[in-house]
């Protein structure tokens, strides 16, 4: 049997039974189970359980007795759904871009609930690995920091060259299988950009000579000073995104490095337990990464941001009001960068990432407003921000508020 659920967005109008019947038929044809005009196709039924969704159930044996196997039906169904969204004028979700991190499966969620844990191990490990990657400069420091944080690490060696490390897996001391073995997660099972090859590219891109602002100098090790430097670097990075023109690669590299700054800042605020700022960093990370694990280039701006991310990580938790105020100014500036990143992703027709950037910007503004207070927030933003431009470099008027679902 084959089963699929098709659901409309909450903002969509209510479709008629005839419209849902057409959608179901188009979906079955798209996944090659019941092509149009094929009398020997599989038999299927569509059931409307509510105004906003239907369920389709089909056999996998055709009427001529042959078995049919749905091949890549998930991708085909998603492509059909995007086409139907346009044809019916529905909320457009956008094509799958494979930038989302891997979500926990039902078995992981159920096991976590049975054991009384408050967080799913995969999510906890992803957060720890991402924060450690932002603080490290190479894989040796990366593995050392992970172990110091209480994470179990297992490296994978090449079958051709035993001395070459080709990957890694992480686990938690209290997360075991029924047989008592550690449950291991490879970097790619946590997120697409946390494989060892991707992390090595990240560390190499951060090895470019950084700007003077990112270099620690005598007497400037105070947290507040570093956060002010990071705020200024983020402001310049946001301007780069606003005037990206056609150089989308450089803009993506800058945004990806800014994600490290946000991760380190969230850790300095909330520690390993996480919180609202950590959640915002997870959302922003999805908006900043590249699709299909495409490697990013190097830039001086990216190197500057990564150097500052490492400095923030080394300083540890915030301790004073001055440090907190300076860090909140950085959070506010990161919200502006997230807005410009959303504009860039919209211009690239990468709707999932654009919406993630909008959500991150909203969360970051809320956190900054709550921490700074409305008066301080107005003073920080001023009457206007920098001129906002489209990605082609042409000035444009501010648009009305967009859907930020």
What distance lies between CA 117 and its chain's CA centroid?
24
Q: Are 121 and 108 in contact (CB under 8 A)?
A: yes
- What is the chain's pLDDT, residue by residue, as a tens digit (405 residues)? 999 999 998 899 999 999 999 999 999 999 999 999 999 999 999 999 899 999 999 999 999 999 998 888 888 998 899 899 989 999 877 666 666 666 777 788 888 888 887 888 999 999 999 999 999 999 999 999 999 999 999 999 998 888 899 999 999 998 888 888 999 999 988 988 899 998 998 887 654 444 444 444 433 447 889 999 999 999 999 998 888 665 677 888 899 899 999 999 999 999 888 899 999 999 999 888 877 666 666 788 889 999 999 999 988 888 778 888 899 999 999 999 999 999 998 888 888 889 999 999 999 999 999 876 644 444 444 433 333 434 443 333 333 333 333
Task: Check residue 404 and give its pLDDT.
Answer: 33
Listed residue (259, 225, 227) closest to 364, CA to CA: 259
Q: Are 296 and 205 in contact (CB under 8 A)?
A: yes
Q: Which residues pair with 389 in a beta bridge?
A: 395
Q: Are 372 and 380 in contact (CB under 8 A)?
A: yes
**How far apart, in whole angstroms, are the C-alpha atoms of residue 191 and residue 210?**
27
Say which DSSP state 16 is in.
Answer: P
- Segments in 153-275 forming alpha helices (H): 187-190, 196-205, 223-242, 248-270
Structure token digits, residue 111: 């096991």
Task: Check residue 374 and give its pLDDT.
Answer: 45
Task: Check residue 399 and give its pLDDT.
Answer: 38
Phi, psi of 171 (to 5 degrees): -150, 175
Long-range CB pairs of 228-231, under 8 A, 24+ apart, other chains included = 228/326, 228/329, 229/308, 230/261, 230/265, 230/305, 230/308, 230/309, 230/311, 230/312, 230/330, 231/326, 231/329, 231/330, 231/333
Q: What one-character-per-residue DSSP string does 267-295 give? A: HHHHGGG--HHHHHHHHHHHHHSPGGGPP
**How far apart, in whole angstroms, are the C-alpha atoms of residue 239 and residue 254?**
11
Q: Are 130 and 121 in contact (CB under 8 A)?
A: no
Q: What one-character-per-residue DSSP string does 122-149 give? A: HHHHHHHHHHHHHH-SSHHHHHHHHHHT
- Which three-class secondary structure state does DSSP give residue 21? helix
**How far apart, in whole angstroms, are the C-alpha atoms of residue 83 and residue 89?**
10
Q: What is the CA radius of gyration of the chain?
A: 24
Cβ contacts of residue 378 below 8 Å, gap of 6+? Answer: none
Q: Are 57 and 3 in contact (CB under 8 A)?
A: yes
**How far apart, in whole angstroms, are the C-alpha atoms of residue 389 and residue 386?**
9
Q: In the block, which residue shows the tokens 């679902």?
A: 405
**How far apart, in whole angstroms, are the C-alpha atoms of residue 77 and residue 90?**
16
Phi, psi of 101 (to 5 degrees): -75, 165
Sort strands 185-186 and 165-171 into parallel, antiparallel or unpaired.
antiparallel
Cβ contacts of residue 82 below 8 Å, gap of 6+? Answer: 92, 93, 94, 95
Task: Check residue 177 and give its pLDDT.
Answer: 87
Task: Check residue 71 and give its pLDDT.
Answer: 85
Q: Are 277 and 376 in contact (CB under 8 A)?
A: no
Q: Please report, for the chain, the start and end positions of each structural domain, with discontinuous segments joined by +.
A: 2-88, 106-203, 206-381
Phi, psi of 77 (to 5 degrees): -65, -40
**How far apart, in whole angstroms, are the C-alpha atoms of residue 378 and residue 169?**
46
Q: Are 77 and 95 in contact (CB under 8 A)?
A: no
Listed residue (101, 141, 156) closest to 125, CA to CA: 101
Sort strands 185-186 and 53-58 into parallel, antiparallel or unpaired.
unpaired
**How far apart, in whole angstroms, are the C-alpha atoms of residue 254 and residue 298?**
9
């Amino acid at each position: 049997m084959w089963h699929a659920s098709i659901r409309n967005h909450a903002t969509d109008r209510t479709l008629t039974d005839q419209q849902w019947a057409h959608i179901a038929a188009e979906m079955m044809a798209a996944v090659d189970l019941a092509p149009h005009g094929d009398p020997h196709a599989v038999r299927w039924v569509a059931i409307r359980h509510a105004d906003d969704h239907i369920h389709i159930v089909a056999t996998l044996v055709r009427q001529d007795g042959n078995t049919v196997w749905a091949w890549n039906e998930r991708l085909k169904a998603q492509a059909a759904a995007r086409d139907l969204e346009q044809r019916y004028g529905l909320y457009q979700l956008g094509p799958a871009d494979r930038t989302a991190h891997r979500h926990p499966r039902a078995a992981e969620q159920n096991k976590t609930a049975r054991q009384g844990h408050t967080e799913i191990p995969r999510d906890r490990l992803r957060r720890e690995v991402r924060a450690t990657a932002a603080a490290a400069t190479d894989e040796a420091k990366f593995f050392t920091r992970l172990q110091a944080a209480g994470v179990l690490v297992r490296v994978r060696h090449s079958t051709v060259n035993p001395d070459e490390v080709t990957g890694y897996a992480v686990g938690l001391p209290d997360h075991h299988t029924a047989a008592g073995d550690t449950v291991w997660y490879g970097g790619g099972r946590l997120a697409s950009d946390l494989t060892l090859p991707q992390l090595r590219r990240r560390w190499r891109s951060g090895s470019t000579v950084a700007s003077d602002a990112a270099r620690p100098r005598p007497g400037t090790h105070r947290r507040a000073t570093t956060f002010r430097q990071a705020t200024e670097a983020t402001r310049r990075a946001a301007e780069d995104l606003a005037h990206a023109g056609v150089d989308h690669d450089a803009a993506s590299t800058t945004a990806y490095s800014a994600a490290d700054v946000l991760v380190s800042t969230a850790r300095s605020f909330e520690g390993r337990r996480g919180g609202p700022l950590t959640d915002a960093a997870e959302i922003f990370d999805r908006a900043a990464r590249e699709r299909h694990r495409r490697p990013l280039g190097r830039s001086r701006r990216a190197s500057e941001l990564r150097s500052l991310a490492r400095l923030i990580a080394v300083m540890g938790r915030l301790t004073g009001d001055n440090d907190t105020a300076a860090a909140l100014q950085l959070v506010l500036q990161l919200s502006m960068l997230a807005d410009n990143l959303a504009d860039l992703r919209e211009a690239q027709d990468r709707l999932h990432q654009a919406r993630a950037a909008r959500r991150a910007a909203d969360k970051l503004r809320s956190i900054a407003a709550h921490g700074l207070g409305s008066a301080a927030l107005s003073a920080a933003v001023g009457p206007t921000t920098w001129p906002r431009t489209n990605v082609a470099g042409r000035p444009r008027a501010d648009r009305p508020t967009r859907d930020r679902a």
